[in-house]
Amino acid sequence: MKILVVSLLRLGDVIQQQPLLKALRNENPQAEIHLLLNRQFSQVENLLGDMVDKYFYFDRESLQKGLGEASYNILWSHHQLESLVEDLNHESYQKVYNFTHNKLSAYLLGAIQSPVKLGLFHGEGRFQGLNNPWLRYFNERFSGTQPSLFHYVELLGNSFGLPVERTANGASGKSKKILFQCLTSNEKKNWPLKRFKELKETIESSLVDYKVQILCAPFEKEALLKQFSDSDLLVCDLDLAQSALRESCLLVTGDTSIKHLAAQSGVPIIELVMGSSDWTKTAAFSKNSEIITAQVACAPCSHTQACSQKSQICAEQISVDQVFAAVWDRLSKKSQQAGVTLRDVERVVWTMQLNEVATTEVIPYANAALRFTEEYSKDSVRRILASCRETQQRNESWLTRLEKAFPTWSSLAGKSQLKSQDIGEFILVAQEIVKSKQDTAGYFQFVVETLMARFSSTLQFHEKMQSALAEVRGLVQARGQFIHSLEIVLKEGVYYAAGIGQLSIDGFEEAGRSVSRDREDAAI
Protein backbone atom coordinates (compact mmCIF):
# COMPACT_ATOMS: atom_id res chain seq x y z
CA MET A 1 0.00 0.00 0.00
CA LYS A 2 1.16 3.52 -0.81
CA ILE A 3 0.20 6.52 1.32
CA LEU A 4 0.74 10.19 0.46
CA VAL A 5 0.94 12.95 3.08
CA VAL A 6 0.52 16.53 1.85
CA SER A 7 2.24 19.12 4.06
CA LEU A 8 2.54 22.47 2.29
CA LEU A 9 3.31 24.46 5.43
CA ARG A 10 6.27 26.24 7.00
CA LEU A 11 9.41 24.53 8.26
CA GLY A 12 8.38 24.47 11.92
CA ASP A 13 5.00 22.96 11.06
CA VAL A 14 6.63 20.16 9.08
CA ILE A 15 9.08 19.38 11.90
CA GLN A 16 6.35 19.27 14.54
CA GLN A 17 4.41 16.80 12.38
CA GLN A 18 6.98 14.10 13.23
CA PRO A 19 4.71 12.47 15.88
CA LEU A 20 1.96 12.22 13.26
CA LEU A 21 4.29 10.63 10.72
CA LYS A 22 5.64 8.29 13.36
CA ALA A 23 2.10 7.22 14.32
CA LEU A 24 1.24 6.76 10.65
CA ARG A 25 4.30 4.53 10.23
CA ASN A 26 3.41 2.51 13.35
CA GLU A 27 -0.15 2.03 12.11
CA ASN A 28 1.06 1.01 8.62
CA PRO A 29 4.46 -0.69 9.09
CA GLN A 30 4.41 -2.33 5.63
CA ALA A 31 3.18 0.72 3.73
CA GLU A 32 5.26 2.99 1.50
CA ILE A 33 4.81 6.53 2.85
CA HIS A 34 5.45 9.52 0.59
CA LEU A 35 5.55 13.18 1.61
CA LEU A 36 4.76 16.24 -0.51
CA LEU A 37 6.56 19.37 0.76
CA ASN A 38 7.37 22.89 -0.32
CA ARG A 39 10.73 22.67 -2.08
CA GLN A 40 12.43 25.28 0.12
CA PHE A 41 12.11 22.90 3.09
CA SER A 42 13.80 19.91 1.48
CA GLN A 43 16.38 19.89 4.30
CA VAL A 44 13.89 18.09 6.55
CA GLU A 45 14.67 14.88 4.67
CA ASN A 46 17.62 14.33 7.00
CA LEU A 47 15.42 14.80 10.07
CA LEU A 48 12.56 12.44 9.32
CA GLY A 49 14.61 9.26 8.92
CA ASP A 50 12.72 6.09 8.01
CA MET A 51 9.31 7.65 8.65
CA VAL A 52 9.17 8.68 4.97
CA ASP A 53 10.17 6.53 1.97
CA LYS A 54 9.93 9.08 -0.84
CA TYR A 55 9.64 12.86 -1.21
CA PHE A 56 7.89 15.01 -3.75
CA TYR A 57 8.28 18.78 -3.92
CA PHE A 58 5.86 21.60 -4.63
CA ASP A 59 7.88 24.45 -6.14
CA ARG A 60 5.75 27.33 -4.89
CA GLU A 61 8.31 30.07 -5.61
CA SER A 62 8.84 29.03 -9.25
CA LEU A 63 5.12 28.63 -9.83
CA GLN A 64 4.46 32.12 -8.47
CA LYS A 65 7.21 33.56 -10.68
CA GLY A 66 5.74 31.78 -13.68
CA LEU A 67 2.40 33.42 -13.03
CA GLY A 68 3.73 36.91 -12.33
CA GLU A 69 6.85 37.51 -14.45
CA ALA A 70 6.75 38.40 -18.13
CA SER A 71 9.84 36.28 -18.93
CA TYR A 72 7.81 33.08 -18.35
CA ASN A 73 5.38 31.58 -20.83
CA ILE A 74 1.83 32.19 -19.59
CA LEU A 75 1.15 28.43 -19.47
CA TRP A 76 4.47 27.43 -17.85
CA SER A 77 3.11 27.21 -14.29
CA HIS A 78 0.11 25.24 -15.50
CA HIS A 79 2.36 22.67 -17.20
CA GLN A 80 4.58 22.40 -14.09
CA LEU A 81 1.61 21.76 -11.84
CA GLU A 82 0.11 19.31 -14.31
CA SER A 83 3.41 17.41 -14.41
CA LEU A 84 3.51 17.18 -10.60
CA VAL A 85 -0.05 15.83 -10.46
CA GLU A 86 0.76 13.26 -13.15
CA ASP A 87 3.81 12.07 -11.17
CA LEU A 88 1.71 11.74 -8.03
CA ASN A 89 -1.11 9.90 -9.77
CA HIS A 90 1.40 7.51 -11.31
CA GLU A 91 2.06 6.22 -7.76
CA SER A 92 -1.57 5.00 -7.38
CA TYR A 93 -2.00 5.98 -3.73
CA GLN A 94 -4.52 4.04 -1.65
CA LYS A 95 -4.71 6.86 0.93
CA VAL A 96 -3.93 10.58 0.88
CA TYR A 97 -3.72 12.66 4.08
CA ASN A 98 -3.94 16.46 4.04
CA PHE A 99 -1.90 17.81 6.97
CA THR A 100 -2.09 21.35 5.54
CA HIS A 101 -5.78 22.29 5.53
CA ASN A 102 -5.78 25.32 3.29
CA LYS A 103 -7.47 25.91 -0.06
CA LEU A 104 -4.32 25.29 -2.10
CA SER A 105 -3.82 21.84 -0.59
CA ALA A 106 -7.56 21.10 -0.92
CA TYR A 107 -7.51 21.84 -4.66
CA LEU A 108 -4.35 19.75 -5.05
CA LEU A 109 -5.97 16.78 -3.27
CA GLY A 110 -8.93 17.17 -5.58
CA ALA A 111 -6.63 16.51 -8.54
CA ILE A 112 -4.94 13.47 -6.97
CA GLN A 113 -6.56 10.13 -7.71
CA SER A 114 -7.08 8.03 -4.58
CA PRO A 115 -10.00 5.98 -3.19
CA VAL A 116 -9.46 7.43 0.30
CA LYS A 117 -8.80 11.11 0.98
CA LEU A 118 -8.48 12.23 4.60
CA GLY A 119 -8.72 15.90 5.45
CA LEU A 120 -9.90 18.88 3.42
CA PHE A 121 -10.17 18.36 -0.35
CA HIS A 122 -12.07 19.88 -3.28
CA GLY A 123 -14.39 17.72 -5.32
CA GLU A 124 -17.72 17.91 -7.12
CA GLY A 125 -17.52 21.70 -7.06
CA ARG A 126 -17.21 22.08 -3.28
CA PHE A 127 -14.86 21.61 -0.36
CA GLN A 128 -15.22 18.25 1.36
CA GLY A 129 -13.52 16.11 3.98
CA LEU A 130 -14.67 17.73 7.21
CA ASN A 131 -16.36 14.47 8.07
CA ASN A 132 -15.72 14.27 11.79
CA PRO A 133 -16.06 16.72 14.71
CA TRP A 134 -12.30 16.92 15.32
CA LEU A 135 -11.66 18.05 11.75
CA ARG A 136 -14.46 20.61 11.97
CA TYR A 137 -13.05 21.95 15.23
CA PHE A 138 -9.60 22.18 13.63
CA ASN A 139 -10.98 23.94 10.56
CA GLU A 140 -13.07 26.42 12.59
CA ARG A 141 -10.79 27.13 15.55
CA PHE A 142 -7.21 26.85 14.41
CA SER A 143 -6.75 29.69 11.98
CA GLY A 144 -6.52 33.31 13.10
CA THR A 145 -6.92 34.24 16.76
CA GLN A 146 -9.87 31.97 17.57
CA PRO A 147 -9.32 30.12 20.86
CA SER A 148 -8.33 26.47 20.73
CA LEU A 149 -8.06 24.13 23.70
CA PHE A 150 -5.94 21.65 21.76
CA HIS A 151 -2.50 21.56 20.18
CA TYR A 152 -2.10 21.35 16.41
CA VAL A 153 -0.64 17.83 16.65
CA GLU A 154 -3.42 16.66 19.01
CA LEU A 155 -6.11 17.94 16.66
CA LEU A 156 -4.71 16.25 13.56
CA GLY A 157 -3.97 13.07 15.51
CA ASN A 158 -7.58 12.85 16.70
CA SER A 159 -8.90 13.88 13.29
CA PHE A 160 -7.08 11.05 11.52
CA GLY A 161 -7.18 8.45 14.27
CA LEU A 162 -3.41 8.58 14.74
CA PRO A 163 -2.34 8.05 18.38
CA VAL A 164 0.23 10.72 19.26
CA GLU A 165 2.02 11.42 22.53
CA ARG A 166 4.13 14.31 23.72
CA THR A 167 7.81 13.42 23.73
CA ALA A 168 9.42 12.67 27.09
CA ASN A 169 12.96 13.42 28.29
CA GLY A 170 15.83 12.25 26.15
CA ALA A 171 18.85 10.29 27.31
CA SER A 172 20.49 11.44 30.56
CA GLY A 173 24.13 12.34 31.08
CA LYS A 174 24.27 15.24 28.64
CA SER A 175 26.92 17.92 28.70
CA LYS A 176 26.45 21.11 30.70
CA LYS A 177 25.78 23.14 27.60
CA ILE A 178 22.72 25.43 27.38
CA LEU A 179 21.52 26.65 24.00
CA PHE A 180 19.68 29.88 23.21
CA GLN A 181 17.70 30.47 20.02
CA CYS A 182 17.19 34.23 20.20
CA LEU A 183 15.60 35.28 16.93
CA THR A 184 12.31 34.23 15.35
CA SER A 185 10.71 34.78 11.97
CA ASN A 186 8.61 37.67 13.33
CA GLU A 187 9.98 40.60 15.32
CA LYS A 188 6.85 40.64 17.52
CA LYS A 189 7.83 37.20 18.84
CA ASN A 190 11.36 38.23 19.83
CA TRP A 191 12.53 38.73 23.41
CA PRO A 192 15.06 41.61 23.45
CA LEU A 193 18.64 40.50 22.67
CA LYS A 194 19.85 42.59 25.59
CA ARG A 195 17.83 40.40 27.97
CA PHE A 196 19.15 37.23 26.38
CA LYS A 197 22.66 38.58 27.00
CA GLU A 198 21.81 39.35 30.66
CA LEU A 199 20.38 35.85 31.04
CA LYS A 200 23.56 34.32 29.61
CA GLU A 201 25.71 36.32 32.03
CA THR A 202 23.47 35.39 34.98
CA ILE A 203 23.62 31.68 34.15
CA GLU A 204 27.37 31.56 33.63
CA SER A 205 28.12 33.58 36.78
CA SER A 206 25.67 31.67 38.99
CA LEU A 207 26.16 28.21 37.51
CA VAL A 208 29.87 28.18 36.81
CA ASP A 209 29.88 24.64 35.34
CA TYR A 210 27.48 25.61 32.57
CA LYS A 211 28.26 27.22 29.24
CA VAL A 212 25.74 29.05 27.03
CA GLN A 213 25.92 29.07 23.24
CA ILE A 214 23.70 30.91 20.79
CA LEU A 215 22.23 28.93 17.89
CA CYS A 216 21.77 30.94 14.72
CA ALA A 217 21.38 30.69 10.97
CA PRO A 218 24.03 32.44 8.84
CA PHE A 219 21.72 35.36 8.02
CA GLU A 220 21.12 36.02 11.75
CA LYS A 221 24.80 36.38 12.65
CA GLU A 222 25.13 40.10 11.97
CA ALA A 223 22.20 40.99 14.27
CA LEU A 224 23.44 38.74 17.08
CA LEU A 225 26.99 40.13 17.02
CA LYS A 226 25.58 43.41 18.35
CA GLN A 227 25.15 41.70 21.76
CA PHE A 228 27.31 38.56 21.63
CA SER A 229 30.87 37.73 20.65
CA ASP A 230 31.69 35.59 17.66
CA SER A 231 32.78 32.75 19.95
CA ASP A 232 29.34 32.73 21.59
CA LEU A 233 27.63 31.91 18.32
CA LEU A 234 27.03 28.47 16.86
CA VAL A 235 26.21 29.14 13.22
CA CYS A 236 24.61 26.04 11.75
CA ASP A 237 22.05 24.41 9.51
CA LEU A 238 19.28 22.09 10.72
CA ASP A 239 21.49 18.99 10.79
CA LEU A 240 24.15 20.66 12.94
CA ALA A 241 21.46 22.23 15.13
CA GLN A 242 19.98 18.79 15.77
CA SER A 243 23.41 17.42 16.74
CA ALA A 244 24.02 20.38 19.06
CA LEU A 245 20.62 19.92 20.71
CA ARG A 246 21.30 16.25 21.40
CA GLU A 247 24.46 17.24 23.27
CA SER A 248 22.78 20.00 25.28
CA CYS A 249 20.93 19.96 28.58
CA LEU A 250 18.47 22.81 27.92
CA LEU A 251 17.10 25.09 25.19
CA VAL A 252 15.76 28.61 25.80
CA THR A 253 13.89 29.81 22.74
CA GLY A 254 11.08 31.84 21.27
CA ASP A 255 8.56 30.54 18.74
CA THR A 256 10.96 28.86 16.29
CA SER A 257 11.45 25.69 14.29
CA ILE A 258 14.30 24.81 16.65
CA LYS A 259 11.90 24.24 19.57
CA HIS A 260 10.11 21.52 17.58
CA LEU A 261 13.47 19.96 16.74
CA ALA A 262 14.39 20.02 20.44
CA ALA A 263 11.05 18.45 21.38
CA GLN A 264 11.66 15.50 19.07
CA SER A 265 15.12 15.05 20.61
CA GLY A 266 13.74 15.03 24.16
CA VAL A 267 15.62 18.19 25.15
CA PRO A 268 14.13 20.23 28.04
CA ILE A 269 12.73 23.50 26.69
CA ILE A 270 11.90 26.91 28.13
CA GLU A 271 9.70 28.65 25.60
CA LEU A 272 9.19 32.42 25.67
CA VAL A 273 5.80 33.22 24.17
CA MET A 274 5.13 36.72 22.84
CA GLY A 275 3.32 38.56 20.08
CA SER A 276 1.33 36.34 17.74
CA SER A 277 2.62 33.11 19.29
CA ASP A 278 -0.19 30.92 20.66
CA TRP A 279 1.33 28.29 22.95
CA THR A 280 -1.95 26.36 23.13
CA LYS A 281 -1.84 25.69 19.40
CA THR A 282 1.83 25.42 18.49
CA ALA A 283 4.05 25.11 21.57
CA ALA A 284 6.72 22.42 21.59
CA PHE A 285 4.87 19.09 21.72
CA SER A 286 6.83 17.86 24.71
CA LYS A 287 6.26 16.71 28.29
CA ASN A 288 9.41 18.55 29.31
CA SER A 289 8.61 22.07 28.17
CA GLU A 290 7.83 25.15 30.23
CA ILE A 291 5.91 28.11 28.83
CA ILE A 292 6.71 31.64 30.00
CA THR A 293 4.32 34.29 28.74
CA ALA A 294 2.97 37.66 29.82
CA GLN A 295 -0.69 38.02 30.74
CA VAL A 296 -1.66 40.88 28.43
CA ALA A 297 -5.07 41.47 26.88
CA CYS A 298 -3.77 41.94 23.32
CA ALA A 299 -1.98 38.59 23.12
CA PRO A 300 -1.91 36.54 21.05
CA CYS A 301 -2.23 39.12 18.30
CA SER A 302 -2.64 38.64 14.56
CA HIS A 303 0.36 37.40 12.56
CA THR A 304 -0.14 40.01 9.85
CA GLN A 305 -0.75 43.15 11.94
CA ALA A 306 1.85 45.34 13.59
CA CYS A 307 2.00 45.60 17.39
CA SER A 308 -0.94 47.70 18.59
CA GLN A 309 0.85 48.99 21.72
CA LYS A 310 3.29 51.87 22.17
CA SER A 311 5.90 49.31 23.17
CA GLN A 312 6.05 45.51 23.14
CA ILE A 313 4.57 44.97 26.60
CA CYS A 314 4.29 41.19 26.17
CA ALA A 315 8.10 41.02 25.89
CA GLU A 316 8.79 43.68 28.51
CA GLN A 317 6.81 41.80 31.17
CA ILE A 318 9.02 38.69 30.89
CA SER A 319 11.96 39.43 33.18
CA VAL A 320 15.45 37.95 33.18
CA ASP A 321 14.94 36.79 36.77
CA GLN A 322 11.76 34.97 35.79
CA VAL A 323 13.49 33.07 32.99
CA PHE A 324 16.54 32.32 35.14
CA ALA A 325 14.29 30.85 37.84
CA ALA A 326 12.84 28.51 35.21
CA VAL A 327 16.34 27.59 34.04
CA TRP A 328 17.36 26.83 37.63
CA ASP A 329 14.31 24.62 38.19
CA ARG A 330 14.94 22.68 34.98
CA LEU A 331 18.62 22.11 35.63
CA SER A 332 18.00 21.08 39.23
CA LYS A 333 15.25 18.74 37.96
CA LYS A 334 12.87 20.21 40.48
CA SER A 335 9.62 18.28 40.31
CA GLN A 336 6.78 20.44 39.04
CA GLN A 337 3.30 19.30 39.94
CA ALA A 338 0.92 20.73 37.40
CA GLY A 339 -1.99 22.46 39.08
CA VAL A 340 -5.46 21.82 37.72
CA THR A 341 -7.22 24.74 36.02
CA LEU A 342 -10.63 25.40 34.51
CA ARG A 343 -8.99 24.97 31.11
CA ASP A 344 -8.23 21.33 32.00
CA VAL A 345 -11.91 20.78 32.74
CA GLU A 346 -12.92 22.38 29.43
CA ARG A 347 -10.49 20.15 27.53
CA VAL A 348 -12.16 17.04 28.94
CA VAL A 349 -15.63 18.36 28.13
CA TRP A 350 -14.70 19.21 24.54
CA THR A 351 -12.95 15.85 24.12
CA MET A 352 -16.10 14.02 25.20
CA GLN A 353 -18.21 16.14 22.87
CA LEU A 354 -15.86 15.80 19.87
CA ASN A 355 -15.74 12.04 20.46
CA GLU A 356 -19.54 12.20 20.27
CA VAL A 357 -20.17 10.74 23.73
CA ALA A 358 -23.85 11.32 24.58
CA THR A 359 -24.65 12.96 27.92
CA THR A 360 -27.02 10.06 28.64
CA GLU A 361 -24.03 7.68 28.76
CA VAL A 362 -23.04 7.91 32.42
CA ILE A 363 -20.14 5.45 32.48
CA PRO A 364 -17.82 7.35 30.05
CA TYR A 365 -18.24 10.52 32.11
CA ALA A 366 -17.62 8.61 35.36
CA ASN A 367 -14.46 7.06 33.91
CA ALA A 368 -13.28 10.48 32.67
CA ALA A 369 -13.84 11.92 36.16
CA LEU A 370 -11.86 9.06 37.75
CA ARG A 371 -8.94 9.58 35.35
CA PHE A 372 -9.09 13.32 35.99
CA THR A 373 -8.82 12.90 39.79
CA GLU A 374 -5.92 10.48 39.28
CA GLU A 375 -4.02 12.93 37.08
CA TYR A 376 -4.63 15.84 39.44
CA SER A 377 -4.94 15.60 43.20
CA LYS A 378 -8.48 15.47 44.54
CA ASP A 379 -7.77 18.45 46.78
CA SER A 380 -6.79 20.59 43.79
CA VAL A 381 -9.94 19.48 41.92
CA ARG A 382 -12.08 20.38 44.94
CA ARG A 383 -10.54 23.85 44.96
CA ILE A 384 -11.74 24.62 41.43
CA LEU A 385 -15.19 23.04 41.73
CA ALA A 386 -16.76 26.29 42.93
CA SER A 387 -15.45 28.08 39.82
CA CYS A 388 -16.67 25.18 37.67
CA ARG A 389 -20.18 25.51 39.10
CA GLU A 390 -20.15 29.29 38.72
CA THR A 391 -19.11 29.05 35.07
CA GLN A 392 -21.72 26.34 34.48
CA GLN A 393 -24.48 28.54 35.91
CA ARG A 394 -23.39 31.42 33.70
CA ASN A 395 -23.33 29.21 30.58
CA GLU A 396 -26.76 27.77 31.37
CA SER A 397 -28.16 31.27 31.97
CA TRP A 398 -26.79 32.52 28.63
CA LEU A 399 -28.15 29.49 26.80
CA THR A 400 -31.60 29.86 28.39
CA ARG A 401 -31.75 33.54 27.45
CA LEU A 402 -30.66 32.83 23.87
CA GLU A 403 -33.25 30.09 23.45
CA LYS A 404 -35.97 32.29 24.94
CA ALA A 405 -35.06 35.22 22.67
CA PHE A 406 -34.80 33.08 19.52
CA PRO A 407 -37.80 33.70 17.23
CA THR A 408 -40.10 30.85 16.23
CA TRP A 409 -40.19 29.43 12.73
CA SER A 410 -43.72 30.75 12.20
CA SER A 411 -42.73 34.31 13.14
CA LEU A 412 -40.10 34.34 10.37
CA ALA A 413 -41.94 32.27 7.76
CA GLY A 414 -43.70 35.20 6.17
CA LYS A 415 -40.67 37.50 6.04
CA SER A 416 -38.64 37.81 2.85
CA GLN A 417 -35.80 39.61 4.62
CA LEU A 418 -34.43 39.32 8.14
CA LYS A 419 -34.23 42.61 10.03
CA SER A 420 -32.32 43.36 13.22
CA GLN A 421 -35.53 44.07 15.15
CA ASP A 422 -36.72 40.52 14.39
CA ILE A 423 -33.88 39.13 16.50
CA GLY A 424 -32.96 42.20 18.53
CA GLU A 425 -33.02 40.57 21.97
CA PHE A 426 -31.12 37.56 20.62
CA ILE A 427 -28.37 39.84 19.26
CA LEU A 428 -28.12 41.70 22.58
CA VAL A 429 -27.53 38.46 24.51
CA ALA A 430 -24.89 37.34 21.97
CA GLN A 431 -23.16 40.74 22.24
CA GLU A 432 -23.17 40.43 26.03
CA ILE A 433 -21.41 37.05 25.77
CA VAL A 434 -18.75 38.44 23.41
CA LYS A 435 -18.15 41.60 25.46
CA SER A 436 -17.86 39.65 28.71
CA LYS A 437 -14.78 37.81 27.34
CA GLN A 438 -15.74 34.96 29.68
CA ASP A 439 -16.47 32.37 27.01
CA THR A 440 -12.77 31.50 26.83
CA ALA A 441 -13.46 27.85 25.90
CA GLY A 442 -15.56 28.90 22.91
CA TYR A 443 -18.86 27.27 23.89
CA PHE A 444 -20.93 29.99 22.21
CA GLN A 445 -18.72 30.54 19.19
CA PHE A 446 -21.15 28.59 16.99
CA VAL A 447 -23.87 31.14 17.74
CA VAL A 448 -21.64 34.19 17.20
CA GLU A 449 -20.27 32.88 13.89
CA THR A 450 -23.76 32.00 12.64
CA LEU A 451 -24.96 35.54 13.44
CA MET A 452 -22.13 36.95 11.32
CA ALA A 453 -22.80 34.66 8.32
CA ARG A 454 -24.87 35.48 5.25
CA PHE A 455 -28.09 33.62 4.44
CA SER A 456 -30.26 33.38 1.35
CA SER A 457 -33.50 33.42 3.36
CA THR A 458 -34.85 33.98 6.85
CA LEU A 459 -35.76 30.30 7.10
CA GLN A 460 -32.20 29.27 6.25
CA PHE A 461 -31.02 31.52 9.08
CA HIS A 462 -33.53 29.88 11.43
CA GLU A 463 -32.36 26.39 10.47
CA LYS A 464 -28.64 27.21 10.85
CA MET A 465 -29.12 29.00 14.16
CA GLN A 466 -31.20 26.13 15.53
CA SER A 467 -28.31 23.81 14.66
CA ALA A 468 -25.82 26.17 16.37
CA LEU A 469 -27.96 26.35 19.52
CA ALA A 470 -28.23 22.56 19.56
CA GLU A 471 -24.42 22.27 19.49
CA VAL A 472 -24.12 24.77 22.35
CA ARG A 473 -26.78 22.91 24.30
CA GLY A 474 -24.88 19.64 23.84
CA LEU A 475 -21.65 21.21 25.09
CA VAL A 476 -23.27 22.84 28.12
CA GLN A 477 -25.02 19.60 29.03
CA ALA A 478 -21.78 17.63 28.61
CA ARG A 479 -20.01 20.09 30.88
CA GLY A 480 -22.73 19.70 33.52
CA GLN A 481 -22.51 15.91 33.30
CA PHE A 482 -18.74 15.93 33.75
CA ILE A 483 -18.87 18.29 36.75
CA HIS A 484 -21.59 16.11 38.29
CA SER A 485 -19.36 13.05 37.77
CA LEU A 486 -16.43 14.84 39.42
CA GLU A 487 -18.61 15.70 42.43
CA ILE A 488 -19.67 12.06 42.80
CA VAL A 489 -16.07 10.81 42.64
CA LEU A 490 -14.98 13.35 45.25
CA LYS A 491 -17.95 12.58 47.53
CA GLU A 492 -17.25 8.83 47.35
CA GLY A 493 -13.87 9.51 48.88
CA VAL A 494 -15.55 11.35 51.75
CA TYR A 495 -18.02 8.53 52.25
CA TYR A 496 -15.23 5.94 52.31
CA ALA A 497 -13.33 7.96 54.92
CA ALA A 498 -16.50 8.07 57.04
CA GLY A 499 -16.65 4.27 57.07
CA ILE A 500 -19.21 3.43 54.39
CA GLY A 501 -16.46 1.95 52.25
CA GLN A 502 -15.66 -0.53 55.02
CA LEU A 503 -19.13 -2.14 55.04
CA SER A 504 -19.28 -5.83 54.10
CA ILE A 505 -20.91 -7.01 50.87
CA ASP A 506 -24.32 -7.17 52.51
CA GLY A 507 -23.44 -4.36 54.87
CA PHE A 508 -26.35 -2.19 53.80
CA GLU A 509 -28.75 -4.87 55.10
CA GLU A 510 -26.74 -5.00 58.34
CA ALA A 511 -26.91 -1.22 58.53
CA GLY A 512 -30.67 -1.53 58.70
CA ARG A 513 -30.31 -3.65 61.87
CA SER A 514 -27.31 -2.03 63.48
CA VAL A 515 -25.01 0.94 63.00
CA SER A 516 -22.00 -1.03 64.24
CA ARG A 517 -19.36 -2.19 61.70
CA ASP A 518 -17.94 -5.70 61.66
CA ARG A 519 -14.20 -5.27 61.07
CA GLU A 520 -13.69 -8.97 60.41
CA ASP A 521 -16.35 -9.06 57.70
CA ALA A 522 -15.01 -5.87 56.24
CA ALA A 523 -11.58 -7.44 55.84
CA ILE A 524 -13.12 -10.26 53.82
- Per-residue pLDDT at 145: 65
The confidence score (pLDDT) of residue 170 equals 63
Domain count, the chain: 3
Inform me whether the pLDDT recorded for 518 exceeds 80.
no
Q: Which of 101-110, 151-160, 222-231 has the lowest mean pLDDT?
A: 101-110
Give tens-digit pLDDT for 332-349.
877 665 679 999 999 999
What pLDDT band is residue 85 in, cutting at 50, 70 and 90? Answer: very high
101: CATH? 3.40.50.2000
Quick one: pLDDT at residue 521? 45
Measure Cα distances from 440 to 99, 347, 391 in Å: 26, 12, 11
- Would 170 be classed as within a structural domain? no
Tell me: do 182 and 119 sit in the same domain: no
3-state secondary structure of 476: helix
Mean pLDDT confidence for 301-305: 80
258 pLDDT band, cuts 50/70/90, is very high
Q: CB neighbours of 41 closer than 8 A, spacing ≥ 6?
A: 10, 11, 14
Euclidean distance between CA atoms 318 and 312, whole angstroms: 11
Is residue 185 domain-shared with residue 153, that is, in the same domain?
A: no
Q: Verify that 103 and 28 share a domain, yes or no.
A: yes
pLDDT at residue 519 greater than cutoff 60:
no
Residue 500 has a pLDDT of: 47
Residue pair 174/265 in contact (Cβ under 8 Å)? The answer is no
Q: Give me the helix-helix angle, 458-498 and 378-405, nearest 10°.
A: 150
Q: Does the structure show a pLDDT above 90 at 7?
A: yes
Of 288, 309, 331, which closes a domain? 331
Residue 191 lies in a domain: yes
Whether 186 and 228 share a structural domain: yes
Say whether pLDDT at 517 is over 60.
no
Q: What percent of the chain has pLDDT over 70?
A: 91
pLDDT value of residue 256: 92
pLDDT in tens, 410-430: 888 777 777 778 889 999 999
pLDDT digits 0-9 by tens, 362-389:
999 999 999 999 999 888 999 999 999 9
Percentage above 90 pLDDT, the chain:
65
Of residues 511 and 212, the one with the higher pLDDT is: 212
Question: Looking at residue 514, what is its pLDDT?
Answer: 44
User: What confidence score (pLDDT) does residue 511 get?
Assistant: 41
Residue 519 belongs to a domain: no
Dihedral angle over CA of 433, 435, 439, 440, nearest 10: 170
pLDDT at 516: 45
Alpha-carbon distance 316 to 294, whole Å? 8
Q: Report, as an integer, the average pLDDT of 135-143.
A: 85
> Would 169 be classed as within a structural domain?
no
Say yes or no: 347 and 493 in one domain: yes
CA atoms within 13 A on the CB side of 384: 19
How far apart are alpha carbons 230 and 221 in whole angstroms?
9
* Residue 507 located in a structural domain: no
Q: Is 338 part of any domain?
A: no
- pLDDT tens digits, one per residue of 485-504: 999 999 876 554 445 444 44
For residues 317 and 429, membership in a common domain is answered with no
* pLDDT tier, 179 (very low <50, low <70, confident <90, very high otherwise): very high
- Same-domain check for residues 17 and 154: yes
Kindly report the pTM of this predicted structure.
0.86
pLDDT confidence of residue 135: 93
d(CA 35, CA 4): 6
CB 180 within 8 Å of CB 252: yes
pLDDT of residue 416: 74
Least confident of 39-53, 319-333, 385-399, 510-524: 510-524
pLDDT at position 494 is 54
Q: Taking all residues of the chain, what is their mean pLDDT, rounded to a whole number?
A: 88
Range(s) of the domain holding residue 156: 2-160
The tens digit of pLDDT for each residue in 197-217 reads: 999 999 999 999 999 999 999
**Are residue 320 and residue 365 in the same domain, yes or no?**
no
**Is there a single domain that holds both residue 325 and residue 199?**
yes
Domain contains 522: no
CA–CA dist 5, 138 (Å, integer): 18
Residue 283 in domain: yes
State whether 8 and 132 are in the same domain. yes
Is residue 312 within 8 A of residue 274, CB to CB? The reply is yes
More confident residue, 282 or 302: 282
